[in-house]
């Protein structure tokens, strides 16, 4: 799979993350539109830094360069990629799960992707993936929420706001149409890269793993960066089965596997 992320798909997140300045020249007509796609993994052997497989289900390795490491809780989706004449024709979402687009905030680099993959164990997705019945209104995702925590010195602290999946600015067909367009047309401009070239470098992979955007932080999450020894917990849960109090009780007792639940539990090392 090729690994991609959507930047700016929840209103306010880029400002919280200190990354909105990189999109000041964005020409999107709609203010709430996502701002672009970035790569975090390209399966090829051409010597690019994001060819190192970064995904782990249990570990985040603290970067040797850069500072202010921050959890980015997201909905991750696995998609089938369809091509026509070496362009991306369409995407078919297959499954979803808890995803951590962990990012270095304090690093002077020209491209957003350079803050996203610093080697092995710099990203995460839950081992529990949930099948998508239909990626449209009325489907399974209408009822799911994203919330995140860290456990620091034994204390569970909410890190990201409890956010319905439907809070994404672009979702379902609107998101798929936008992503296909960006994959085919995004240029090498500013902090973004030409995504279609990267598909070519990866020999047109059949599948993609896509983080569709990070949620907003709590006051604690905005100002507290990850330390070695922290445990990060990203939770995707059905609000028809759970509420936030039940989720916190389950996390406190380390009950991380259940129906209608995808949990990503990583330790920063």
pLDDT digits (tens, 9 = 90+) for 113-163: 999 999 999 999 999 999 999 999 999 999 999 999 999 999 999 999 999
Alpha-carbon torsion (166, 147, 135, 198), positive or negative: positive
Contacts with 127 (C-beta within 8 Å, 6 or more apart), sequence order = 57
Residue pLDDT, tens place only, 160-202: 999 999 999 999 999 999 999 999 999 999 999 999 999 999 9
Residue pLDDT, tens place only, 63-84: 999 899 999 999 999 999 999 9
The more confidently predicted of residues 17 and 193 is: 193
Each as own residue / partner, the long-range contacts of residues 27-32 (CB below 8 Å, 24 or more positions apart, any chain) are 32/169
How far apart CA 218 and CA 162 sit, in angstroms, is 9
Instruction: Supply 145's token pair.
Output: 């929420």
* Coil vs helix vs strand at 223: helix
Residue 4 pairs in a beta bridge with 39, 210
The ranges assigned to domains in the chain are 2-142+164-216
Which single residue is written with the structure tokens 């990070």? 214
Q: Judge whether residue 62 has pLDDT over 70.
A: yes
Nearest to 96 by CA among 145, 123, 129: 129
| Domain spanning 2-142+164-216, CATH architecture | Alpha-Beta Complex (3.90)
| Backbone φ/ψ region at 180: left (φ over 0), alpha (ψ -120 to 50), beta | alpha
pLDDT value for 13:
60
Residue pLDDT, tens place only, 22-60: 554 455 546 689 999 999 999 987 776 688 999 999 999
Q: Judge whether residue 252 has pLDDT over 80.
A: yes
Instruction: Supply 59's token pair.
Output: 């570990």
Residue pLDDT, tens place only, 138-147: 999 999 999 9
User: Taking a C-beta distance cutoff of 8 angstroms, is the pair 135, 174 a contact?
Assistant: no
Q: How many Cα neighbours within 13 Å face the side chain of 35?
A: 24
User: Taking a C-beta distance cutoff of 8 angstroms, is the pair 72, 100 a contact?
Assistant: yes
User: Taking a C-beta distance cutoff of 8 angstroms, is the pair 235, 243 a contact?
Assistant: no
pLDDT value for 12:
63
User: Taking a C-beta distance cutoff of 8 angstroms, is the pair 162, 168 a contact?
Assistant: no
Nearest to 133 by CA among 142, 124, 121: 142
Residue pLDDT, tens place only, 204-250: 999 999 999 999 999 999 999 999 999 999 999 999 999 999 999 99
pLDDT value for 14:
66
Which single residue is written with the structure tokens 């500013």? 190
Per-residue pLDDT band for 11 (boundaries 50, 70, 90) equals: confident
How far apart CA 58 and CA 158 sit, in angstroms, is 19
């Amino acid at each position: 799979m090729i690994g991609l992320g959507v930047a700016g798909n929840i209103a306010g997140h880029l400002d919280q993350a200190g990354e909105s300045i990189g999109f000041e020249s964005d020409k999107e007509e709609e203010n709430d539109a996502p701002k672009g796609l970035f790569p975090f993994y390209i399966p090829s052997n051409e010597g690019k830094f994001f060819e190192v497989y970064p995904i782990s289900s249990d570990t985040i390795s603290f970067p040797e360069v850069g500072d202010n490491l921050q959890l980015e809780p997201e909905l991750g989706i696995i998609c089938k990629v369809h091509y026509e004449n070496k362009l991306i024709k369409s995407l078919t979402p297959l499954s979803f799960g808890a995803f951590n687009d962990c990012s270095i905030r304090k690093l002077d680099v020209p491209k957003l992707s350079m803050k996203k993959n610093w080697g092995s164990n710099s990203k995460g997705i839950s081992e529990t993936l949930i099948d998508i019945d239909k990626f449209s209104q009325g489907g399974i995702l209408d009822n799911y929420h994203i919330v995140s925590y860290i456990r620091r010195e034994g204390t569970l602290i909410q890190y990201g706001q409890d956010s319905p999946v439907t809070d994404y600015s672009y979702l379902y067909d609107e998101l798929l149409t936008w992503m296909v367009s960006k994959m085919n047309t995004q240029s090498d401009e500013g902090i973004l890269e030409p995504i279609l070239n990267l598909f070519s470098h990866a020999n047109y992979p059949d599948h993609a793993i896509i983080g569709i955007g990070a949620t907003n932080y709590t006051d604690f999450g905005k100002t507290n960066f990850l330390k070695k020894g922290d445990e990060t917990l990203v939770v995707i849960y059905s609000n028809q089965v759970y509420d936030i109090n039940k989720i916190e009780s389950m996390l406190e007792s380390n009950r991380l596997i259940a129906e209608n639940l995808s949990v990503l539990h990583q330790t920063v090392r």
